[in-house]
């Protein structure tokens, strides 16, 4: 089987990429003039020469044009297939469905379940592991494997690669890509969408990365997702998979353990989840001016304040929830955190709650 590996061009000029995207839209009869005008560009004729784009485009305009081009091509492919394409609102909903998953593997499986409900409109997702490598498959049902379909599938693979990395707070690396197309787009377009080795004429569309990433915890919150989705997936310059501080990733792992009423993981267990050694974990936390014990205390303290507001929950039960043997050990630790007893803090919290309560109508 003939395969071609794309050359990655780190110095790609986005206007040159946008120029080809507009050409693809023109090929399917799209409204070039409208796309340029919505991006804030004057164009009486819909002209979009490379010199014109390079001279005039801002980053925001590049994102706007890419969004319109991608949506125009998706709509064209959907009409050709006789069913509507997956839209931005559905992409957002998929993201909200997977943000509560505990690991990347669970998030991928839930994404596959979500896409299955769309009846082929979002393609078919699956995951396999072999010889320490994860193989994420994105099968689409395009009737024609032309440049528009390739661009659509590359955009989809790019979206998943960036989303998965963002969820676990670290880039999937090394990452390789395989697509079931011959090369129909210029190298700089492909490299802009997916700056990874790309193999053409494959059996389907795949992302391949170390299977160890599947065990990593999801470390992002819903509020972070709210911010991400304002521009995602159309701003390809967003560093959505940038590394979170190790202390933040550990804090999320500890918080999840407390939320699920299980024992707090050990240094060795947390290091294994993050794919590093115990010594590396300790060193990174030290560099961030904290320690595992400090993070455990902070998580326990935060949860203790929440649980103390439940007036009916006995202190012994709170102690168990926090991983202490009994209420005496809990009270001793709580005094170290706050200088007060749990009972005194509960009384203060209750008073604040009463003072904040609305006055009933007379």
- Helix/strand/coil (H, E, C) string of 13-38? CHHHHHHHHHHHHHHCCCCHHHHHHH
Helices 59-81, 14-27: inter-axial angle, 10-degree rounding: 30
Tokens of 200: 């053409």
Question: What average pLDDT is seen over the chain?
Answer: 84
Q: What is the mean pLDDT of residues 108-118?
A: 95
User: 206 pairs with which residues across the strands?
Assistant: 137, 178
Tokens of 11: 């110095």
CB 299 within 8 A of CB 314: no
pLDDT, greater one: 308 or 95 = 95
**Considering only 27-31, 71-75, 317-321, 352-356, which range has the smallest mean pLDDT?**
352-356
Q: What helix, strand, coil percent values describe the chain, rounded to 5?
A: 55, 5, 35
Q: What is the pLDDT of residues 240-266, one digit of tens each?
A: 444 668 888 788 788 777 877 888 889
Q: pLDDT at position 54, please?
A: 63
Q: What is the mean pLDDT of residues 110-127?
A: 92
Q: pLDDT at position 308, please?
A: 87
> Is the peptide bond prior to 256 cis by the omega test (within 30 degrees of 0)?
no
Domain ranges in the chain with CATH number 1.10.10.60: 246-356
- Rounded CA-CA distance 329/111 in Å is 43
User: 128 pairs with which residues across the strands?
Assistant: 135
Q: pLDDT at position 94, please?
A: 96
Q: What is the pLDDT of residues 45-83, one digit of tens each?
A: 566 665 666 666 777 888 888 899 999 998 998 888 888
Global pTM? 0.69
Distance of CA 164 to the CA centre of its chain: 5
Q: Which residues contact 226 (CB under 8 A, 6 or more apart)?
A: none
Q: Which residues contact 1 (CB under 8 A, 6 or more apart)?
A: 201, 202
- Rounded CA-CA distance 100/327 in Å is 31
Q: What percent of the chain has pLDDT over 70?
A: 86
State the number of CA atoms in the 13 A half-sphere of 168 facing the CB. 25
Q: Which residues contact 83 (CB under 8 A, 6 or more apart)?
A: 119, 120, 121
pLDDT, greater one: 200 or 58 = 200
End-to-end CA distance of the chain: 82
Tell which phi-psi region holds residue 280, choosing left (phi > 0), alpha (psi between -120 and 50) or beta: alpha
Q: pLDDT at position 96, please?
A: 97
**Cα Rg, the chain, nearest whole Å:** 25
Selection from 158, 149, 90 nearest residue 119 by Cα: 90
Q: pLDDT at position 9, please?
A: 35
Q: What is the mean pLDDT of residues 11-34?
A: 79
CATH architecture for residues 246-356? Orthogonal Bundle (1.10)
Going from the C-alpha of 256 to that of each of 52, 102, 151, 157, 337, the distances in angstroms are: 52, 8, 38, 29, 21
Selection from 202, 141, 147 nearest residue 176 by Cα: 202
Angle formed at CA 177 by CA 171 and CA 183, multiple of 5 degrees: 140
**pLDDT band with cut points at 50, 70 and 90 for residue 5:** very low
Going from the C-alpha of 88 to that of each of 68, 94, 193, 246, 345, the distances in angstroms are: 11, 10, 18, 32, 46
199's enclosing H/E stretch is: strand 198-199
Q: Is pLDDT at 355 greater than 70 in this prediction?
A: no
**Considering only 55-69, 84-98, 280-294, 321-335, which range has the smallest mean pLDDT?**
55-69
pLDDT, greater one: 181 or 273 = 181
What single DSSP character describes residue 214?
A: G
């Amino acid at each position: 089987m003939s395969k071609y590996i794309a050359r990655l061009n780190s110095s790609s000029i986005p206007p040159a990429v946008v120029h080809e995207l507009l050409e693809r839209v023109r090929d399917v009869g799209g409204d070039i003039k409208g796309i340029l005008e919505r991006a804030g560009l004057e164009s009486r004729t819909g002209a979009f020469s490379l010199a014109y784009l390079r001279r005039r485009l801002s980053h925001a305009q590049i994102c706007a044009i890419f969004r319109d081009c991608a949506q125009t091509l998706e709509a064209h492919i959907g009409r050709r297939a006789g069913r509507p394409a997956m839209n931005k609102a559905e992409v957002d909903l998929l993201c909200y469905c997977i943000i509560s998953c505990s690991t990347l593997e669970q998030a991928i499986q839930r994404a596959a379940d979500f896409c299955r409900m769309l009846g082929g409109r979002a393609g078919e997702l699956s995951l396999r592991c072999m010889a320490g490598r994860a193989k994420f498959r994105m099968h689409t049902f395009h009737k024609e494997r032309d440049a528009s379909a390739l661009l659509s599938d590359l955009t989809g693979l790019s979206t998943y690669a960036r989303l998965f990395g963002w969820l676990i707070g670290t880039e999937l690396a090394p990452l390789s890509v395989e697509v079931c197309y011959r090369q129909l787009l210029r190298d700089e377009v492909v490299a802009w969408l997916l700056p990874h080795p790309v193999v053409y004429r494959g059996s389907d569309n795949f992302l391949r990365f170390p299977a160890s990433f599947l065990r990593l915890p999801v470390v992002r919150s819903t509020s972070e997702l709210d911010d991400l989705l304002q521009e995602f997936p159309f701003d390809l310059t967003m560093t959505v998979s940038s590394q979170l501080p190790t202390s933040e990733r550990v804090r999320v792992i500890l918080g999840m353990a407390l939320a699920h009423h299980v024992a707090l993981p050990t240094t060795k267990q947390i290091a294994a989840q993050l794919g590093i050694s115990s010594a590396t974990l300790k060193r990174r936390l030290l560099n961030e001016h904290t320690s595992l014990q400090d993070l455990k205390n902070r998580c326990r303290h935060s949860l203790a304040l929440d649980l103390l507001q439940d007036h009916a929950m006995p202190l012994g039960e709170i102690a168990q929830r926090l991983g202490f043997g009994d209420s005496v050990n809990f009270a001793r630790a709580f005094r170290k955190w706050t200088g007060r007893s749990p009972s005194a803090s509960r009384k203060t919290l209750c008073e604040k709650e009463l003072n904040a309560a609305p006055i009933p109508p007379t």
